[in-house]
Structure 1
Amino acid sequence: MASFLRKLFGQAASTSLVYENLLAELGVDMHSHLLPGLDDGAETIEQSLGLLEAMQALGYRKLIMTPHIMGDFYKNTPTTVHAALAQMQEAATTAGFADIQLECAAEYYLDEWLGGKLDSGEELLSFGGLKKYLLLETSYMNEPFNMQDIIFRLKAQGYQPVLAHPERYTYLYGRFSELEKIHDNGVLFQINLNSLAGYYSSGAQRVAEKLIDARLVDFVGTDAHNLKHTETLRSKVLPLAYLKKVLALPLLNNTLLTN
């Protein structure tokens, strides 16, 4: 596998083989953009394999990859997502990857198109088997007017909403009680590990730390789009005290190994 990837990407791409496996206890990453050609993540299968190598070297044994589904911008469907997964699985087998499981779901943008999918009864790309975890994101700047309605309707159809990176929504900054309310109303929270290193902003880092202190984190994810994300995780996040603190919480990541 390593020689194959060195031929594709050069020596730098194989440096992930020396990563420490400090995230091995998580077992599963449930938020990433590794599937090729679907969104703003990996553009090619070669990039997908480079990211896959980096993720495996970090200790992950299962990746649930979650391309964006967003209105007219990312018009992914279960058919296109599963086709990209099949392409990646074939390439990974050819490249010699072993002992890592590849699955897919999606990251749904909370907009009127999602409401339309619920109206039509379209099956959404969830993860966790019968748990039917459904990964959601909103605008970073503007509070969605229909969030409570969408959450209610998702639950009515048997889905368990999971809010992706709640620490990044600036419209909630200074409103931590609102985050607590959302969580108390049955929405699970997934923070991005790179937020712990201030990768997105100092504000996102502060909110992520506060969520950890309040024990309001249910999943952690890489949200990996490129090798810069995995390198930041390896070099800046792994040494942090808050990483150890979040890993000590009763996270649900490793429960996904059996689904």
Structure 2
Amino acid sequence: MFGFFKKKKILEDIIPDGLVDIHSHILYGLDDGAKSLKETQDLISDLKSFGFSKFIATPHTTPLVWDNTKEGILNQYEKVKNELGFTDKNLRVASEYLMDDSFLKRLETEKLLTLKDHFVLVEMSYLNPPINLYEIILELNSQGYKPVLAHPERYNFYKNDYESFKRLKKAGCLFQMNLLSSVGYYGSSVTEIADYLLKEKMYDFVGSDVHHQKHIQAFSAEIRLKHINEFEYVIEKNNFFA
């Protein structure tokens, strides 16, 4: 009888010790993430309490909004790393690049900040994909980059267009799921899309995408996914970045 009342899993409880976070906004002073050194310290401390041990900070590079330069990101990274007494092993830096009309020009003029080797974190507008999306992906691939698309489940314009996910994978995109998508933080429709992508084994990695304390608090919520085994398997794949 009591088998019908199985205890649901809590997100923070399934984070394995030593997990590498490949997507976060913990570097203060660069975007809509941490606003002070103390916030950076608190976010890192909280994530460590869940099991994370290494961090690849990925501040936004978003033209006209958070128009960070490569040099600006690297300078702030060195500053924060020194303030915290961290090493390159504990805290690394990349960027989350918005793929928009200006992105191809960026590819012509600079080397991108990558997660590891040639793995680069990219995102799209939540309103619509760029008109030249596949041209951008082709150019990334031709330059040797491996695009890791941040939180594909959050692009609601693909909600009833699962063929587009398959097309993106076929074009060479890797998929990074936001951990908080598993608990309904961004809405039930986002969790449904994430569940579908897990079922279809389309995800390659996960990330916290932590910006602030509300995100940290959501790690104590129950997982709402049907495909939890697949979710846990994808989490383990982050070992690639260790």
- The verdict on how the C-alpha distance between 1:86 and 1:242 changes in structure 2, with shifts beyond 3 A counting, is farther
**One-letter amino acid of the counterpart of residue 92, structure 1:** L
Q: In structure 1, what is the Cα distance between the partners aligned to 2:175 and 2:139?
A: 18
Gaps in structure 1 of 5+ consecutive residues? 1-18
Secondary structure in 2 aligned to 1:174?
coil
Q: In structure 2, what is the Cα distance between the partners aligned to 1:167 and 1:20?
A: 20
Number of equivalent positions? 232
Shift of 1:99: 11
Shift of 1:242: 4.4
For the pair 1:165 / 2:158, whether they are aligned, the reply is no
Give per-residue Cα distances to partners, 1:209-256, cap 9 Å, x unaligned.
Answer: 1111111010111100011112202x1156966444311248531111
Q: TM-score, normalised by structure 1?
A: 0.83
Give the structure 1 partner of residue 113 of structure 2.
125
**One-letter amino acid of the counterpart of residue 40, structure 1:** D
Tell me if the contact between 1:28 and 1:61 (Cα under 8 Å) persists in the aligned partners.
Answer: yes
Give the structure 1 partner of residue 90 of structure 2.
101
Q: Which structure has more RCO (C-alpha within 8 Å, separation ≥ 6)?
A: 2
Q: In structure 2, what is the Cα distance between the partners aligned to 1:199 and 1:20?
A: 14
**Could you tell me which of 74, 80, 91 is aligned with 1:88?**
80
**Could you tell me which of 25, 29, 35 is aligned with 2:27?**
35
**Could you tell me which of 32, 57, 67 is aligned with 1:75?**
67
- The verdict on how the C-alpha distance between 1:167 and 1:133 changes in structure 2, with shifts beyond 3 A counting, is same
Structure 1 vs Structure 2 CA RMSD: 2.2
Q: In structure 1, what is the Cα distance between the partners aligned to 2:21 and 2:201?
A: 19
For the pair 1:174 / 2:160, whether they are aligned, the reply is yes
**One-letter amino acid of the counterpart of residue 35, structure 1:** L
Tell me if the contact between 1:237 and 1:243 (Cα under 8 Å) persists in the aligned partners.
Answer: no
**Could you tell me which of 50, 55, 63 is aligned with 1:58?**
50
For the pair 1:256 / 2:241, whether they are aligned, the reply is yes
Percent pairwise identity? 34
For the pair 1:192 / 2:184, whether they are aligned, the reply is no
Shift of 1:98: 9.1
Give the structure 2 partner of residue 11 of structure 1.
none
**One-letter amino acid of the counterpart of residue 97, structure 2:** Y
Tell me if the contact between 1:62 and 1:101 (Cα under 8 Å) persists in the aligned partners.
Answer: yes
Secondary structure in 2 aligned to 1:64?
strand
Gaps in structure 2 of 5+ consecutive residues? 1-10
Secondary structure in 1 aligned to 2:74?
helix
Tell me if the contact between 2:21 and 2:56 (Cα under 8 Å) persists in the aligned partners.
Answer: yes
**One-letter amino acid of the counterpart of residue 163, structure 2:** S
Secondary structure in 1 aligned to 2:176?
strand
Give the structure 1 partner of residue 99 of structure 2.
110
Q: TM-score, normalised by structure 2?
A: 0.89
- The verdict on how the C-alpha distance between 1:213 and 1:25 changes in structure 2, with shifts beyond 3 A counting, is farther
Shift of 1:56: 1.0
- The verdict on how the C-alpha distance between 1:99 and 1:181 changes in structure 2, with shifts beyond 3 A counting, is closer
- The verdict on how the C-alpha distance between 1:98 and 1:85 changes in structure 2, with shifts beyond 3 A counting, is closer
- The verdict on how the C-alpha distance between 1:26 and 1:204 changes in structure 2, with shifts beyond 3 A counting, is farther
- The verdict on how the C-alpha distance between 1:88 and 1:243 changes in structure 2, with shifts beyond 3 A counting, is farther
- The verdict on how the C-alpha distance between 1:28 and 1:201 changes in structure 2, with shifts beyond 3 A counting, is same
- The verdict on how the C-alpha distance between 1:212 and 1:90 changes in structure 2, with shifts beyond 3 A counting, is same
